[in-house]
């Protein structure tokens, strides 16, 4: 009996396939346009694209192997995505801290929902585009009043 159970465990373990890792990026764009005229959003792609369809091999700036199936840029657009509204962080009088706190709560809400779906946060990157500076208002070391902050949250999950 022990031999049969042991044999069963060995056979079963040999058929266990390795998990596939999936990746997802959650992008947060926060506007720094005065008077609340900008657009702030959480963006999440819902439709994967095949990067190989838009990839061509080049060497020395010249095409070596053209991808005959390569689409053009318009083929990359139109994928399904979700767009969650956020509040603009800059008002007529300056930074609106209440809006910042609300945006933080919205991002945390989305990250918690993704965590419950099995996604694990493994990296965060952010960037600021100063746009046209009108004053010496310092944000992240940049004189910025008309621009955007973009933060990307990189997530993964094994399936």
pLDDT tens-place string over residues 62-101: 776 666 666 667 777 767 889 999 998 887 788 889 999 9
pTM over 0.85: no
More confident residue, 9 or 63: 63
Each residue of 24-55: pLDDT tens digit? 999 999 888 777 677 899 999 988 877 777 77
Cβ-Cβ contacts under 8 Å for 6 (sequence gap 6 or more): none
Sheet harboring 120-129: ordered strands across?
81-86, 40-45, 21-31, 148-158, 120-129
Q: How far apart are CA 117 and CA 127, in angstroms?
A: 27
Kindly list the distances between the CA atom of residue 75 and the CA atoms of 16, 61, 65, 81, 151, in Å, as whole numbers in the listed order.
Answer: 38, 24, 20, 15, 25
3-class SS at 109? helix
Q: Residue 139: what pLDDT?
A: 47
Q: Where are the domains of the chain?
A: 20-48+79-158
The whole-chain average pLDDT of the chain stands at 77
pLDDT at 7 over 80: no
């Amino acid at each position: 009996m022990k031999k049969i159970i042991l044999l069963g465990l060995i056979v079963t373990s040999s058929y266990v396939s390795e998990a596939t890792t999936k990746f997802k990026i959650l992008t947060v764009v926060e506007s720094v346009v005065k008077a609340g005229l900008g657009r702030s959003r959480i963006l999440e792609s819902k439709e994967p694209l095949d990067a190989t369809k838009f990839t061509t091999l080049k060497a020395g700036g010249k095409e070596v192997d053209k991808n005959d199936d390569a689409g053009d840029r318009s083929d990359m657009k139109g994928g399904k995505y979700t767009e969650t509204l956020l509040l603009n962080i800059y008002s007529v009088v300056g930074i609106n801290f209440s809006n910042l706190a609300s945006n933080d709560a919205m991002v945390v809400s989305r990250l918690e929902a993704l965590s419950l779906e099995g996604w694990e946060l493994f990296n965060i990157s952010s960037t600021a585009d100063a746009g046209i500076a009108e004053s010496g208002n310092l944000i992240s070391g940049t004189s910025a009043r008309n621009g955007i902050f973009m933060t990307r949250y990189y997530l993964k999950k094994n399936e």
